[in-house]
Structure 1
Amino acid sequence: MPPATREPAAGPCTGAALAPDSAADDGPRDVAVVGGGVVGLTCALELARSGHRVRVHTADPWPATTSAVAAAIWFPYRAAPVDAVLRWGATSLEVLTRLAADPATGVRLRPGTFVHRTPEPDLWWTPGVPGVRPAAPEELPPGARAGTRCTLPVVDTGAYLPWLAAGCASAGVATVPGRVAALDEVAGDVVVVAAGLGSGHLLDDDTGVPVQGQVVRLADPGLSGWVLDQDGPAGLTYVVPRGRDVVCGGTAVEGATGREPDPRVEAAILERACALVPELRGQPVLSRAVGLRPARPTVRLERLEIGGRPVVACYGHGGAGVTLSWGCAAEVAGLV
């Protein structure tokens, strides 16, 4: 079921500055959101709850989006700038923690271990994360000498994205299927561009780059927590149990555009994952997928004027779309 109560929006936005007269008309607007992944849907829901008339233009149904591939643990991976990411992430952490009380959302709070491979790890992402502490020796995976323990939201996107879409529908958001080739194709008083890698060509921005990520999903043998080994000697590795399956990854190949799983890459992922979590050995493969993270030097969240109409850019979230979604959506609503 969609949420029955409105999650609170953030305070005054601190991203791009509004034009001096931009607040003169703060009544309902006709808003077109371009993008049907987790960022676009969250923006649409926040805008609808703010009283606007909203349409989502989506090139693909939610199962075909990059958001559907994500392991979707709250973690600000490949996203900048730090100050804004921490602010947006804190808002999302608060909202997702509340949503975890409702099983229908697909959000769960799960403990886990962030593995350290250097004597002084950079824990820049921990401000605002409750219960952060050093991992005890028995909490470390084989071969790891140190780590950080905390409890974070884990989002099963197979449940969360349809829950989010249902929330949008209940709030009166209309869905328009089809790829948008240019902004002048889209009607509305305001346009929000939140189409991930598809955003750049709409705003004449060539700074975006795909970062390919491959995952394999195994049957869950009853794991109690996640493991993230970002600097492992054999490559990025994460093991994220979701109850019905365990998402094992991954890769981060900048510039790669292929979407077909590579069996050799999968074998390497499984080898690394089973080395970290031996309980995974012998578990059957349930599914596999490849997604293209929408990376950019920094997340672009600002209000523009294009063709005499306000346009709000909200893209470039890297591997942190779910992690930043509610914070960014609140700021988008403020800019609209």
Structure 2
Amino acid sequence: MVKIAVIGGGINGFSSAVKIKEKFKDAQVVLFSDEFSPNTTGDGSGGLWYPYLCSNTPEHLLIKWGIETYQFVHGLWRKGGHDINLMPMYSLYKNKERFIRPKWASMVFGYHELEEKQLRYLGELYSSAYSAGETFSTFVLLPPSMIKYMETRFKNANGNVINARVGSLHDVILRDYDVIINCTGLGSRDMVPDDAVFPIRGQIAKVVAPWVNQTIMDDDRENYIIPNVNMCVLGGTHQEHDYNRQVDEKDKEMILNGCQAILPSLKNAQLVNHWVGLRPGRSEIRLEPEVIDGKLYIHNYGHGGSGFTLFWGCATNVVDLLEKYLNKSQSKL
């Protein structure tokens, strides 16, 4: 019986664990983490399906991973009961040169570039002057619900979860495992160690605004408005190499004033809280195998702001790499 350890209790760790255990039912699969929902970085995020802060990753991989995730989330949305919203999204630009039509455009629902008349209307509506933009239907997840769903699905497949801190990829706790799946996000900076991993500080505000039913991203203001089933996420910052986890007063003003300038009705929204998280930045998402002293390690980290955009497709890639390795090992025997 092959023994597989997955490190990381976020969306990428649990989705990888789920797909591995459901594919290799006889394998012993254990997930280790010292932090679980609702205390992971992903829990505080907007939960929006939209490739974000991972621009150096090859586009064909973003499309492969992202569209598989989009289709998976669509299937869950159709079933209901998973705290998923399907809604229109508007991504708007003052500088036309900054807008590039994505190659995944034809693979999502209702995509089209905004025409001059629409841009003029939206500019009047959102108090700005836009020269380019796009709209399509996207999904907004409630991150704690999705992580909890993955955890429950993993346990129902007879996967085991252990609350423990793993200090490194060669920690004694991993000694008896044949394969290690590394989904530690920002922790990979020390875990691997990988100096290419860096924090992207994200500060957001959460408000109650049930009348908001569309996602808006304003490239010029660097503000975004993402309503989910419980509240509305207002953002936000993407400050690279910044480890500050404290709420910053200037960022609070930028977020609230900027989003209220887009939608003045947000002035009447009830403030729930301000939140800061450190996204796992990297020049390129690392999803690849590595054999060290005869043991297989599969790395799946560095997703920037796209964890909930790519998680299911990345988990499939993890399973493919694992299957290739196991078939090769069996052929040698």
TM score, norm. by length of structure 1? 0.87
Percentage identity across paired residues of the two chains: 27
Matched-pair contact (CA < 8 Å) for 1:74–1:152: yes
User: Alignment partner of 1:132: what SS?
Assistant: strand
**Residues 87-102 of structure 1 aligned to structure 2 (within 5 Å):** 87-102=64-79
Aligned counterparts of 1:262 and 1:58: Cα–Cα separation in 2: 29
| In structure 2, distance between residues paired with 1:192 and 1:176 | 15
Gaps of 5+ in 2: 323-333
Displacement of 1:139: 4.7
Distance 1:158 1:217 in 2: 15
**CA drift at 1:94:** 1.0
Q: Map Cα deviations across residues 190-231 of structure 1 (whole Å, 9 max, x no partner).
A: 100010011232323211010000011000231121101233
1:64 paired with 2:64, answer: no
User: Number of aligned pairs?
Assistant: 306
2:84, 2:229 within 8 Å by CA — same for their partners in 1?
no
Find the counterpart in structure 2 of residue 35 from structure 1.
8
TM-score normalised by length of structure 2: 0.87
Match of 1:124 in 2: 102
C-alpha RMSD of matched pairs (Å): 1.6
- Of residues 121-130 and 280-289 in structure 1, the stretch that sits farther from structure 2 once superposed is 121-130
Q: 1:76 matched to which residue of 2? A: 51
TM-superposed CA distance for 1:265, in Å, is 1.2
Q: Distance in 2 between matches of 1:231 and 1:190?
A: 45
Tell me the SS of whatever aligns to 1:147.
Answer: strand
Q: Could you tell me how far 1:65 is from its partner in structure 2?
A: 0.9
Q: Give how far 1:125 is off.
A: 5.6
- Shift in Å at residue 112 of structure 1? 1.7
Is 2:293 aligned against 1:316? no
The aligned amino acid for 1:263 is E
1:110 aligns with 2:110: no
The answer as to whether partners of 1:221 and 1:280 remain within 8 angstroms in 2 is: no
| Other-structure match for 2:246 | 260
1:101 counterpart SS class:
helix
Deviation at 1:182, TM superposition (A): 1.9
Find 1:162's aligned residue among 145, 148, 152: 148
Residues 154-210 of structure 1: CA deviation (Å, up to 9, x unaligned)? 111132221221111111221111221122321311100010011232323211010
The range that moved more, 63-72 or 98-107, is 98-107
Distance 1:139 1:82 in 2: 29
Report how far residue 106 of structure 1 moved: 1.8
CA distance in 2 between partners of 1:169 and 1:139 (Å): 46
- Specify the alignment match of 1:284 in structure 2: 270
Which residue in 1 is equivalent to 2:255?
269
Q: Are 1:220 and 1:244, in contact at CA under 8 Å, matched by a contact in 2?
A: no
Q: Distance in 2 between matches of 1:323 and 1:299?
A: 13
Give the C-alpha shift of residue 45 in structure 1.
0.7
Tell me the distance in 2 between the aligned counterparts of 1:144 and 1:59.
47
The letter of the residue matching 2:81 is A
Which of 104, 113, 128 aligns to 1:134? It is 113
Partner of 1:44: 17
SS in 1 for 2:110: coil
Q: Is the 8 A contact 1:89 1:327 kept in 2?
A: yes
Q: Which residue of 1 aligns with 2:316?
A: 330
